[in-house]
Chains A and B, each alone.
Chain A
Amino acid sequence: MWHRRLAGGPDRIDSMAQHSYEIALSVGVFSPMVSFWILVFFGPKFGKPAAGWFALVLGMGVPLACATYVLLGWLGAMDAGQSAALTANAWRGQWAMLGDVAITVGVKLDSLTVAMFFMVTFIAFWIFFFSIGYMSGHSDEVAGQRKYWRFFAYLSLFGFSMLGLVVSSSLLFLFIFWELVGLCSYLLIGFYFDQPVPQYAGMKAFITNRVGDFGFLIGLMLVYFYLGTVDLDEASSRFAQQAATGTGVFASHFTLFGWSLATIMGIGLFCGAMGKSAQFPLHVWLPDAMAGPTPVSALIHAATMVAAGVYLVARIFRLMTPDALMFISLIGCLTLTLMALIAVVQTDIKKCLAYSTLSQLGYMIFGMGCGAWIAALFHLITHAFFKSMLFLCSGQVIEGCHHEQDMRRMGGLWKKMPVTCATFLVGVLAIAGAGIPGTGIGLGGFFSKDEILAVSYARAFEWNSVDKIESGHHDQPDHAGVVPPRRVVLASDLVQHGDQGRGVHDGERSHGANNPAAQGKEHRGTHGETGLATIFSNTRELPKWMFYLALFIAYVTPFYMMRAWWMTFMGKPRDDHVHHHAHETPLMYIPLVVLAVGTIAAGYFLFRPLIADAAPAATAAAKVMAIDGEIHTEAIASAHHYLVYAVGPAFVVGFLIAIAIYAKGLGVGERLKRMPVLAPLHTLLEKKYFFDEIYDFVCVKGCLLVAAVAGFIDTWVVDLLVNLAASATERFAAFSGLIVDNEGVDGIVNGIAKSSRDFGNVVRLPQTGRIRNYILAATGVATVVFLCVLWASSVAREVAVAATSASLGR
């Protein structure tokens, strides 16, 4: 049964426009799949560049056109204030009924989808373009065969999966596409399947993701079971409802590590994001994934798929409890810190970028945990632009230098690769957050990362003071003393947004958000002190060390990025062979230039307003729990104001240190490495905190140990028991067969037979077969009987005579 949901939306929207957006998004999702199937069946017939151009046009060109169409129309609708209605009326249908639960399928049509869809198609389009050049060398050679078309078939499949993930409005379908992108990642990492390293890297990525996806599945099952739906919006509103009434998932008293069931649900879903976005401690697969072709690293492992985890958290933000968000912050903070430090010592250009990606993903997740919904997604977008470009630059360098990836053997490439050098620098500036404080001039990271830091600052330092200020506004001090004001916010926003929180009443919401205490006053009589106070009693402010770490890494990031750039392009050529061959080709640097322009533009235009437009609805229920930084806009603004001066110079400091160390070649760095104080640290970082070794020891060796123990038990316990039973059975069978049966039963049977035979032998003796004997015997017997009778009758007569005479005598 397919139906359009009409509840809750004003009718004045242009239904034609609505249809056209949904159709355009669907066409955009499915055309890469068509491209995939065509390439799968007819790929070899396309020939070398043709398969690439085909995938570029059908696999990404069409989606990009659709995305552009939707984006332009959407911007108009946003200006007309219709976006919320379009979101509310987005098509969704029922796919299946499982008991009482309808499994829905549909298009999630909101500003975030539009922004993500456009970002993915735009970047993917240019990476497809880059791949045509990159793969036309010898990069498509696998096991002695050219797999050019196969590469583009996989890329198309990835396009389909990723766009489906972005568009899906149901958690179940999101999960399906989620697994599909994982599959594509596996296929593309292991593209060079004839070599062991990519093979194992692919397996590692897949298996590590399984760990995370298992958590996702648990979360999904909890959502299905307790919320009774898999639709994102429906689940969110039911979650808020249950939070308000203390029913459903909130009625459970189950706890694990002190987390309520609602928190476990959120953390379970987040586990999926941990796997896909390679968050600590599941980060190990991403650096190894660099064994795949460089465009894959750019598209999947920098710009889109790994960001899907952040996108997922953004989508399920309304299902998060404060505890779950605290967990997310912690994971994000650990990831961004630990991975950035590893990036400092990496010498492989792609590995360095990979650890940088991990660190930036950590920033996004950290931001999500802090409630910086807008900032984290904004950072996702800007990061996607500059990091995909950085990877393409590294691909250009690697391809130009004949597959040399070691930065220690590069140097001085700027003369040979001026465009790559310049675009790489743009990326470095963007990731470093370069900008001029106070003027509003800056590159992507300057806006997005600083905003994350600002929100985390507000969460860590100004949270309580903000509450105190706001609680001072209302005139019921007796209650204010009993119930902390934050929980008043919970109840008030819940009543307003819990059920119809679909972004329809934008104006009202922002009003309510700015003045939560005023609304709290109205409702606290009924809801103020109900279950919420106890359920969310452990809402905490952000630990300050998390903010300090994030701030510190903001200084480290420019350092390692500038180090990578300087080692690669500046200084003197360190390897004549590499330097001699270095070159760049227009087919490959056009995408670099386009993405560089995109990187610069992404910070200013389009994306921040789009995400901000999606935020109120997407975080509505979360506001119920008073965890959204956006509530305290003023606090963040003031934090931002201070922070710009704290973070602003970070890139200058980082750059200067990097240049100071690497300006004269590698000498200074080598000497630092050997300093007794730094040497152990360097080893620790170079070995990536021994995570691979620990996992190898704990997981792989552990697995083998368990297998060995199980094998031992199997051999010595199970087999022993089986063998014992077998041998006992054998012996018993021997006893029962040879002794009891042969001797006993057979003895009885044979004995009976033998005795019968013996008796028969005796009895048959008179049976001579001679009739005359028989007659003689018969006559003899008759004679004897006759004589006996005669004797007996004579005796009887004598007795009778005696008796008679006796009686007569008397």
Chain B
Amino acid sequence: MEIGLAHYLVVAAVMFVAGLFTMITKRNAIGILIGVELILNSATVNLVAFDRYQGPGRLDGQMTALFVIVLAAAEAALAVGICINVYKNLATVDVDRANSLKG
């Protein structure tokens, strides 16, 4: 069986749903961060896959994937910083208890 685009997309979709589920269900901020990473990675997989099958030889997808990875790294650093500050202020990283944004 030839590995095609659909396979990649399925993997990416599984990863996406797994990340989304993680984000929705986890109460730990770090857990949510992990979910975010999963979603980002699924998107990256999609990008590379579409690049490979839809427009071969142009490397657009790969380049964008690289940007996403870099952004993800930056975002992770930022998010962890936020988590540390949240912990400093509220002595917890439980997002349900950190509900200061409640209107």
Residues of A whose CB lies within 8 Å of any CB of B are 760, 763-764, 767-772, 775-776, 779
Interface residues of B in 80-103 (CB under 8 A from A): 95-96, 98-103
Tell yes or no: B27 within 8 A of A by CB: yes
Contacts of A775 in B (CB 8 A): 20, 23-24, 32
For the complex formed, measure the closest distance between the CB of A335 and the CB atoms of chain B, giving whole angstroms.
Answer: 105
Interface residues of B in 1-50 (CB under 8 A from A): 20, 23-27, 32
B side interface size, CB within 8 A: 15
Partner of B32, one of A760, A769, A771: A771
For the complex formed, measure the closest distance between the CB of B38 and the CB atoms of chain A, giving whole angstroms.
Answer: 13
**Known A760-B103, A768-B99; further 9 A-B contacts with Cβ < 8 A:** A767-B103, A768-B102, A769-B98, A769-B99, A769-B102, A770-B96, A775-B24, A775-B32, A779-B20
For the complex formed, measure the closest distance between the CB of A712 and the CB atoms of chain B, giving whole angstroms.
Answer: 72
For the complex formed, measure the closest distance between the CB of B95 and the CB atoms of chain A, giving whole angstroms.
Answer: 5
Residue of A nearest to B36 (CB): A775
B95 in contact with A771 (CB, 8 Å) = yes
Contacts of B99 in A (CB 8 A): 768-770
For the complex formed, measure the closest distance between the CB of B16 and the CB atoms of chain A, giving whole angstroms.
Answer: 10
B24 in contact with A769 (CB, 8 Å) = no
B102 in contact with A767 (CB, 8 Å) = yes
Partner of B96, one of A772, A776, A779: A772
B103 in contact with A764 (CB, 8 Å) = yes
Contacts of A770 in B (CB 8 A): 95-96, 99
Name 14 A/B residue pairs within 8 A (Cβ), A-sorted: A763-B103, A767-B101, A767-B102, A767-B103, A769-B101, A769-B102, A769-B103, A771-B32, A772-B23, A772-B24, A772-B27, A772-B32, A772-B95, A775-B24
Residue of A nearest to B96 (CB): A770
Nearest first, the 9 A-B pairs at minimum CB distance are A769-B102, A769-B99, A767-B103, A764-B103, A769-B101, A771-B95, A775-B23, A776-B24, A772-B24
Contacts of A767 in B (CB 8 A): 101-103
Contacts of B32 in A (CB 8 A): 771-772, 775
Contacts of A779 in B (CB 8 A): 20, 24
Residue of A nearest to B20 (CB): A779
Contacts of B100 in A (CB 8 A): 769
B25 in contact with A772 (CB, 8 Å) = yes
Interface class of chain A by DSSP: helix
Residues of B whose CB lies within 8 Å of any CB of A are 20, 23-27, 32, 95-96, 98-103
Contacts of B101 in A (CB 8 A): 767, 769
What is the CA–CA distance of A767 and B101 in the complex, to the nearest angstrom? Answer: 7
Contacts of A772 in B (CB 8 A): 23-27, 32, 95-96
Please indicate which of the listed interface residues A768, A771, A772 has the most CB atoms of chain B within 10 Å of its own CB. Answer: A771
What is the CA–CA distance of A191 and B27 in the complex, to the nearest angstrom? Answer: 111
What is the CA–CA distance of A763 and B103 in the complex, to the nearest angstrom? Answer: 9
Contacts of B95 in A (CB 8 A): 770-772
What is the CA–CA distance of A694 and B30 in the complex, to the nearest angstrom? Answer: 116
Residue of A nearest to B102 (CB): A769
For the complex formed, measure the closest distance between the CB of B33 and the CB atoms of chain A, giving whole angstroms.
Answer: 11
Residue of A nearest to B29 (CB): A771
For the complex formed, measure the closest distance between the CB of B59 and the CB atoms of chain A, giving whole angstroms.
Answer: 29
For the complex formed, measure the closest distance between the CB of B19 and the CB atoms of chain A, giving whole angstroms.
Answer: 10
Residue of A nearest to B17 (CB): A779
Contacts of B102 in A (CB 8 A): 764, 767-769
Contacts of A776 in B (CB 8 A): 24
Residue of A nearest to B21 (CB): A779
What is the CA–CA distance of A178 and B101 in the complex, to the nearest angstrom? Answer: 97
What is the CA–CA distance of A300 and B96 in the complex, to the nearest angstrom? Answer: 113
Residue of B nearest to A774 (CB): B101
Contacts of A768 in B (CB 8 A): 99, 102
For the complex formed, measure the closest distance between the CB of B44 and the CB atoms of chain A, giving whole angstroms.
Answer: 19
Contacts of B23 in A (CB 8 A): 772, 775
Residue of B nearest to A772 (CB): B24
Contacts of A764 in B (CB 8 A): 102-103
Residue of A nearest to B35 (CB): A775
What is the CA–CA distance of A764 and B99 in the complex, to the nearest angstrom? Answer: 13
Residue of A nearest to B99 (CB): A769
Contacts of B98 in A (CB 8 A): 769
Contacts of B27 in A (CB 8 A): 772
Residue of A nearest to B101 (CB): A769
What is the CA–CA distance of A480 and B98 in the complex, to the nearest angstrom? Answer: 133
What is the CA–CA distance of A779 and B102 in the complex, to the nearest angstrom? Answer: 19
What is the CA–CA distance of A776 and B32 in the complex, to the nearest angstrom? Answer: 12
Residue of B nearest to A760 (CB): B103
Residue of B nearest to A776 (CB): B24
Contacts of B26 in A (CB 8 A): 772
Contacts of B103 in A (CB 8 A): 760, 763-764, 767, 769
Residue of B nearest to A773 (CB): B24
What is the CA–CA distance of A772 and B25 in the complex, to the nearest angstrom? Answer: 7
Contacts of A771 in B (CB 8 A): 32, 95
Residue of B nearest to A771 (CB): B95
For the complex formed, measure the closest distance between the CB of A764 and the CB atoms of chain B, giving whole angstroms.
Answer: 3
What is the CA–CA distance of A775 and B25 in the complex, to the nearest angstrom? Answer: 10
For the complex formed, measure the closest distance between the CB of B103 and the CB atoms of chain A, giving whole angstroms.
Answer: 3
Please indicate which of the listed interface residues B23, B25, B26, B100 has the most CB atoms of chain A within 10 Å of its own CB. Answer: B23
What is the CA–CA distance of A775 and B19 in the complex, to the nearest angstrom? Answer: 11
What is the CA–CA distance of A772 and B101 in the complex, to the nearest angstrom? Answer: 12
For the complex formed, measure the closest distance between the CB of A775 and the CB atoms of chain B, giving whole angstroms.
Answer: 5
For the complex formed, measure the closest distance between the CB of B21 and the CB atoms of chain A, giving whole angstroms.
Answer: 10
Residue of B nearest to A766 (CB): B103
What is the CA–CA distance of A772 and B21 in the complex, to the nearest angstrom? Answer: 10
Please indicate which of the listed interface residues B24, B26, B102 has the most CB atoms of chain A within 10 Å of its own CB. Answer: B24
What is the CA–CA distance of A768 and B98 in the complex, to the nearest angstrom? Answer: 11
Please indicate which of the listed interface residues A767, A772, A779 has the most CB atoms of chain B within 10 Å of its own CB. Answer: A772
For the complex formed, measure the closest distance between the CB of B30 and the CB atoms of chain A, giving whole angstroms.
Answer: 13
What is the CA–CA distance of A771 and B86 in the complex, to the nearest angstrom? Answer: 13
What is the CA–CA distance of A610 and B10 in the complex, to the nearest angstrom? Answer: 150
For the complex formed, measure the closest distance between the CB of B99 and the CB atoms of chain A, giving whole angstroms.
Answer: 3
For the complex formed, measure the closest distance between the CB of B32 and the CB atoms of chain A, giving whole angstroms.
Answer: 7
Contacts of A763 in B (CB 8 A): 103
For the complex formed, measure the closest distance between the CB of A334 and the CB atoms of chain B, giving whole angstroms.
Answer: 105
Residue of B nearest to A782 (CB): B20
Contacts of A760 in B (CB 8 A): 103
What is the CA–CA distance of A770 and B103 in the complex, to the nearest angstrom? Answer: 11
For the complex formed, measure the closest distance between the CB of A760 and the CB atoms of chain B, giving whole angstroms.
Answer: 8
For the complex formed, measure the closest distance between the CB of A529 and the CB atoms of chain B, giving whole angstroms.
Answer: 113
What is the CA–CA distance of A760 and B27 in the complex, to the nearest angstrom? Answer: 28
For the complex formed, measure the closest distance between the CB of B86 and the CB atoms of chain A, giving whole angstroms.
Answer: 11
What is the CA–CA distance of A290 and B99 in the complex, to the nearest angstrom? Answer: 107
